[in-house]
Chain A
Amino acid sequence: MAAEISPKAKAWLAVAAVPIILYTLLPIGWILSLSLKGGTSITDRNYFPRHWSWDSYKYIFTGPAHNLFVPALINSIGICLIATIIGVALSAFAAYGIARLDFPGKRLILNTALLTAFFPAISLVTPLFNVWRSVHLYNTWIGMIIPYLVLTLPISIWTLTAFFRQIPWEMEQAAQVDGATSWQAFRKVVLPLAAPGVFTTAIISFFTAWNDFVFATSLSSTPGKAWHFDGAQTVPAALSYFTGKSNFIPPTGFVAAAAVIVTIPVVILVLFFQKRIVAGLTAGAVKG
């Protein structure tokens, strides 16, 4: 158990946190402000909007841009959720095997996984684009989900391996002696104990896919029609296709509004899983 922090130290920590919070909130506040400034006041050089207006939001949800934004949002949510679920399931099995079993080539697998994570995504995009076109995966959900799995699996495997290694092996052996099969021991003991790790991994995977621009813009062309699933463009890529009301006005406000909307699921996810992410669930399992 970590030592209790004294109230005085706590106060000082709070003071120290203020500039950091301000620093990180500044650009987010700026985007929020831009999205709420209507029309031409965007370029008025004020941090806080003088006239509040929902025009930008109306524009992307019900206005001219809704054919672009709404299906892109559906694509983003669907593709990222599916990629996350498959990715976490796959990496949980892989990580469990790596953490628990002794087999030749174990290090090789881990190192290769790390290596692919370092590989610049941009170098994969062109060959992938050609392959995807010839196998008809271009601009499809599956065509997006596969590269996202590739993108997130290495880091997921690494984090989960670390988490599984922390779980005392004896816990699992106890389950086996109690009559559990390997699968039951995994499901009833290991997985619940690794829950913080699983959630952390899930969130990292989700964000990676959610924020991706390179694959999205190269492997998809249109967001399709809402609920028709005939396109795979996600929000980050779709944003680049936004246009202003005329050719001479940049779509700054609309992009800002879309960015705010896209940030909301992220915030909800973090708030929702905040408690689960806190590790230390294993306290008291063994002596100490």
Chain B
Amino acid sequence: MSTIEMKHITKVYGDGFKAVTDVNIDVADGEFLILVGPSGSGKSTLLRMIVGLEDISSGDMLIDGQRVNDRAPRDRNLSMVFQNYALYPHLTVFENIAFPLRLGKNKLPDDQVTKLVDDIADVLELREHLDRKPANLSGGQRQRVAMGRAIIRKANAFLFDEPLSNLDAKLRGQMRTEISRLQRRLGVTTVYVTHDQTEAMTLGDRVAVLRRGVLQQVASPRELYEQPVNLFVAGFIGSPPMNFLPATVGDGTLELPFMTMPTPEAVTRAKNKGDLVIVGIRPEAFEDATLVEDHQRAGGLTFDAEVDVTEWLGNEKYAYLPFEPHPEVQAALNELDRELDGEAMRTQLVVSLDGSSRIKQGDQASLWFNPAGAHVFDAESGINLTRDEVKAQQIADESEADRQRELERAQRKEGAPV
């Protein structure tokens, strides 16, 4: 049980490349923090600096208030699950899990080791595999062995480096819930690196979004989703991703492709008439106008557009509406797309409709959306002009309260940690 504080952490490589720049994050005791970002964002480097496998160029790393910058990994008492598991191939599963207990200050007598490993093996359902070698295990089993090795020791914190990226989709889902349950039950501070926004949203108490080594936003998944600070965070969080539409500020209105919406107050203050902005609207904010109930309809805008392609997924239906890109904004959006590892596709609006919608491809459809859910971004800096700080704070407080409650409940239910 520990807190981890990162103060102005910077990593500069020998060739002058800045992998991590001035990152400040406090991880609370028992908190599950996610470091997320596209490849090359410095998230793994940051994790390796916490555990001590990478030197810190400047800044302070504090674990439980103690500066650990100059401590070797073994003196930080953290445990880590590596992306490729890094199991010891010459040892059996039993010895792999017991490995930390066979060394130096963690050394325990054999009977105690056996008991601990057996307990862990029961939790992770590895009982019948204890005598096998890692080479003979499936991906999911190897993953569990790596986790067993991490949790057998009373470590101050768990660190995960993209632990699920080598598993197939189904197993990934299972292991995700497994990790979540384990973390709650043990109540151990956890830092988890992933490039997958779904993992970030589902696992994390808070999520830190990194871009090219610079921290963009640390917040609860809900806050990231509802009140992103900039274009990058907005584009990274959510699936399918947020639509970005070029818009021109008019007289109290914003001129978008397909429609015109009232200018939010914050935008009127920051921008002049004729300025170019980017409006971000989540696909979920749209609905088939025929399915919207009358009392709701007045709160939103209805517009007509031709649907290019639809995809029906049972519970929902995606519709794609191409539009003419705006040359000035398009460069910025393409750049963003590249950073988010997306393939530069045609400019189109993606809308998520109810599964019962009868809109078909080629139809001239009538769509409804609520402009309150839209965000307006500065076209150059990408800053969110419509972020509501009060609301964001409220979400943060609620999330923290939820976390505390969840943690207490999990601990009470499961009894003492393993």
Contact = CB atoms under 8 A, between A and B. Distances in A.
Interface of A: 168, 170-171, 173-181, 184, 188-189, 192-193, 195, 281-287
B134 A177 contact: no
Given A177-B53, A178-B149, A283 B80 contact: no
A167 B281 CA distance: 49
A179 B53 contact: no
Contacts of A176: 52-53, 72-74
Q: 9 shortest A-B CB distances, which residue pairs?
A: A284-B135, A285-B89, A174-B86, A286-B84, A178-B100, A170-B86, A287-B166, A192-B90, A176-B73
Given A284-B133, A287-B166, A173 B74 contact: no
Given A284-B135, A287-B166, A179 B100 contact: yes
Contacts of B89: 193, 281-285
A171 B74 contact: no
Given A192-B90, A284-B133, A284-B136, A179 B153 contact: yes
B9 interface: no
B234 interface: no
Nearest to A168: B86
B85 A287 contact: yes
B51 A177 contact: yes
13 contacts: A170-B82, A171-B86, A173-B53, A176-B72, A176-B74, A178-B79, A179-B77, A179-B100, A179-B105, A180-B103, A282-B89, A284-B134, A285-B134
B88 interface: yes
B74 A181 contact: yes
Contact of B88 (A171, A181, A287): A171
Nearest to A173: B53
Nearest to A191: B90
Interface of B: 51-53, 72-74, 77-80, 82, 84-90, 99-100, 102-106, 133-137, 139, 142, 149, 153, 166
A287 B139 contact: yes
A284 B166 CA distance: 13
Contacts of B72: 176
Contact of A285 (B73, B86, B104): B86
A212 B102 CA distance: 44
A198 to B, nearest CB: 13
A174 B147 CA distance: 12
Contact of A184 (B53, B103, B139): B103
B135 A283 contact: yes
Nearest to B48: A173
Given A285-B87, A286-B86, A184 B104 contact: yes
Contacts of B88: 171, 174-175, 188-189, 193, 285
B134 A175 contact: no
Contacts of A285: 85-89, 134-135
Nearest to A176: B73
Nearest to A287: B166
Contacts of A178: 74, 79, 99-100, 103, 149, 153
Given A168-B84, A174-B80, A287-B85, A179 B90 contact: no
Contacts of B77: 179
Residue among A170, A192, A193, A282 with max Cβ neighbours from chain B (10 Å): A170
A180 B106 CA distance: 10
Contacts of B87: 174, 284-285
Contacts of B74: 176-181
Residue among A173, A184, A192 with max Cβ neighbours from chain B (10 Å): A173
Contact of A170 (B84, B133, B137, B149): B84
Given A284-B87, A284-B135, 7 more contacts: A171-B86, A174-B86, A175-B99, A176-B72, A177-B73, A284-B136, A286-B85
B155 to A, nearest CB: 9
Nearest to B99: A178
B363 to A, nearest CB: 46
Given A178-B100, A284-B134, A285-B134, A173 B85 contact: no
A1 B144 CA distance: 23
A175 B80 CA distance: 10
A55 B136 CA distance: 55
Nearest to B102: A188
A173 B54 CA distance: 10
A287 B142 CA distance: 9
A44 to B, nearest CB: 55
A174 B153 CA distance: 14
A281 B90 contact: yes
Nearest to B135: A284
Residue among A178, A189, A284 with max Cβ neighbours from chain B (10 Å): A178
B95 to A, nearest CB: 10
Contact of B82 (A174, A179, A188, A281): A174
Contacts of B136: 284
A176 B149 CA distance: 13
Contacts of B52: 176-177
Contacts of A171: 86, 88
B80 A179 contact: no
Contacts of A282: 89
Residue among A177, A180, A195 with max Cβ neighbours from chain B (10 Å): A177
Contacts of B135: 283-285
B103 A177 contact: no
Residue among A168, A193, A284 with max Cβ neighbours from chain B (10 Å): A284
A214 B337 CA distance: 69
A253 B240 CA distance: 86
A32 B6 CA distance: 74
Contacts of B142: 284, 287
A282 B91 CA distance: 11
A195 B88 CA distance: 13
Contacts of B85: 285-287
A18 B142 CA distance: 43
B130 to A, nearest CB: 16
A173 B86 contact: yes
A19 to B, nearest CB: 37
A104 to B, nearest CB: 13
A192 B137 CA distance: 20
A195 B136 CA distance: 20
Given A179-B104, A283-B89, A173 B84 contact: no
A174 B86 CA distance: 6
